[in-house]
Chains A and B, each alone.
Chain A
Amino acid sequence: EVQLVESGGGLVKPGGSLRLSCAASGFTFTNAWMNWVRQAPGKGLEWVGRIRTKADGGTTAYAAPVKGRFIISTDDSKNTLFLEMNSLKTEDTGVYYCSAGPSWGQGTLVTVSS
């Protein structure tokens, strides 16, 4: 059974940093393109970015609002996906989900507030 478990969310001040993790199991992690998606309170889904497998170049792509501030990476030895978030803004507040293929985690809440 595919499982994706996000962690690392919490309260952070504007301008601060946070690193989210997504622990994956039940599938071959190194074969999966991984995505981060977020959802602001009461709002719709927003694609944040994705990372390709190393076999496909390992490259990343980001949505315009987070480009230059967020970094996606993986630790293939631990089957874990990361989202490093820097220079956080209040508008980055929301639930952050990781996804792999058709599977989604349950999300982790990030609150950016002073």
Chain B
Amino acid sequence: QAVVTQEPSLTVSPGGTVTLTCGSSTGAVTSGHYPFWFQQKPGQAPRTLIYDTTNKHSWTPARFSGSLLGGKAALTLSGAQPEDEAEYYCLLSYSDARVFGGGTKLTVL
């Protein structure tokens, strides 16, 4: 089974910009992995932010964006807000299987 890797933790200043990445043990992440990004706050269910690499849902704040960057999927937060402090997970598709990354704990400080 593939392993999906994320930064364990990142810190961003309020108003700052940060990029979270999502890599695959099988090689470069492509649009064919249909990358998803989820946000989870303590005690809450996950919330879908990005699907199919770049697409946002109606509830996704405009400051979040998805892309492919250097062979990885990326989630960029521009203009971080205190309420963005959370755990972020990516999800990649491999044929019939899906694999989550280990999550990135984002601190806004």
Contacts and interface: CB of A to CB of B under 8 A. Distances in A.
Chain A contact surface mostly: strand
Given A47-B91, A47-B98, A61-B97, A104 B46 contact: yes
Interface string A85-110: 00000000000010000111111000
Contacts of A97: 45-46
A76 B42 CA distance: 33
Interface string B30-69: 0000000010100001111001000001000000000000
A46 B47 CA distance: 15
Contacts of B46: 37, 45, 97, 104
A104 B99 CA distance: 17
B45 A47 contact: no
A63 interface: yes
Contacts of A64: 1
Interface string B80-109: 000000010101000011111111000000
Interface residues of A, number: 17
B98 A44 contact: no
A35 B24 CA distance: 21
Given A50-B98, A63-B97, A104 B48 contact: yes
Contacts of A61: 96-97
Contacts of B102: 44
Contact of B47 (A44, A104, A105): A104
A39 to B, nearest CB: 9
Interface of A: 35, 37, 44-47, 50, 61, 63-64, 97, 102-107
